Amino acid sequence: MENNVGLEKSKTPLPKPDRRAELMRSIKKNKWLYLMIAPGLLYFFVYKYIPMYGLIIAFQDYKPYLGITGSEWVGFQHFERLFTSPEFWMIFRNTLVLFALQILVFFPIPIIIALMLNEVRNQMFKKSVQTLIYIPHFMSWVVIVSISFVMLTLDGGIINSVIEALGFQKINFLMNPDTFRPMYILQVIWREAGWGTIIFLAAIAAVDPQLYEAAKMDGANRLRQAWHITLPAIRSVIVVLLILKIGDVLELGFEHVYLLLNASNREVGEIFDTYVYTAGLKQGQFSYSTAVGFFKGIVGLILVMFANWLAKKAGEEGVY
């Protein structure tokens, strides 16, 4: 009888936890943390999610005086126009080339700088270099491009003055299509490399020092320690940042490219961001420009999901 009573008690279902109460306790416990992230969440909700309602006009012949509810529906007409336009492949090619330069040229540079700074033992020199290389991040693209213009212009530019002093002919960097892409990626490196270095230095600081001590005992030099210990230790950070970078494949930044564009280099410099500005704001083609932006977002989402899937297949955590 006692055994049967025990069995009956063991079969009694346990009360389900009250998830709402647990959530409220968690919010109350971490109220200051939630308060800190509230402005960021509000920003994304107001400026990222609410405006998504406007994507409807990509499927309409939108007229501002009729509004979204009164404009005529045209289905995928604007998307068909985009994909059949001769400008589409030019813009698509330019965007992919600039994105490839960012991935292949720019992305490894903060990692390399972080590895180099990690080997510096003079803390004052290390901090001075860090400060100098990440200060440009706080400058706007207007300032960066203006400085480049002053240095590269034919009329009194320091670079062309040096070229002329060496006995060579001046080079019109600003109007030459061949120099647009190198100039673009060098400016990206100048402005953003230092900021990316901070992230990788923070990841390197979390590496267990005992691993380096064990490697030294085995006779590993600095280069081998960086290759076999540091890089594998920060691999997850590299993968996450790479996935996020891939998501911006069609969004290279309007302001930077627009400031570099002119009539001579438009064939190699026009990208989706500048094309949306020209078609939407300058020419008033709101529905068509929205369709272009919609296409950009879908491609970015697909690439992020694909890159995240590859990362998980390789044994990394990914971004979700």
Query: What CA–CA distance (Å, rounded) separates 43 from 290?
Result: 21
Query: In this model, does residue 15 exceed pLDDT 80?
Result: no
- Cα distances (Å, whole numbers) of residue 277 to 138, 145, 152: 25, 19, 27
Identify the band that residue 220 occupies on the pLDDT scale cut at 50, 70 and 90. Answer: confident
Q: How many domains, in total, are found in the chain?
A: 1
- In this prediction, residues 274-292 reach a mean pLDDT of 86
The structure tokens listed for 277 are 């500005």
Count of CB atoms within 10 A of residue 101's CB? Answer: 19
For residue 279, which of 82, 107, 83 has the smallest C-alpha distance?
Answer: 82
Identify the band that residue 144 occupies on the pLDDT scale cut at 50, 70 and 90. Answer: very high
With 0-12 / 13-18 / 19 or more C-beta atoms within 10 angstroms meaning exposed / middle / buried, residue 132 is: exposed
Q: Quick check: is 81 in a domain?
A: no
Query: What CA–CA distance (Å, rounded) separates 291 from 300?
Result: 14
Query: What CA–CA distance (Å, rounded) separates 126 from 241?
Result: 24
pLDDT score, position 3:
52
Q: Quick check: is 308 in a domain?
A: yes
Q: Quick check: is 21 in a domain?
A: no
Q: Quick check: is 57 in a domain?
A: no
The structure tokens listed for 74 are 């045209």
- In this prediction, residues 61-76 reach a mean pLDDT of 86
pLDDT score, position 185:
93
Q: What is the pLDDT of residues 239-271, one digit of tens each?
A: 888 887 877 766 777 889 999 998 888 899 898
Q: Quick check: is 82 in a domain?
A: no
Higher pLDDT, 297 or 73: 73
Query: In this model, does residue 109 exceed pLDDT 90?
Result: yes
The structure tokens listed for 254 are 């309007």
Query: In this model, does residue 189 exceed pLDDT 70?
Result: yes
Q: Quick check: is 50 in a domain?
A: no
For residue 290, which of 54, 48, 58, 53 has the smallest C-alpha distance?
Answer: 58
Q: Quick check: is 153 in a domain?
A: yes
Q: Quick check: is 206 in a domain?
A: yes
CATH code for the domain of 241: 1.10.3720.10
pLDDT score, position 11:
54
Domain holding 141, by residue range, is 87-313
Lowest mean pLDDT among 27-41, 209-223, 303-317: 303-317
- Helices and strands of the chain, counted as H and E runs: 19, 2
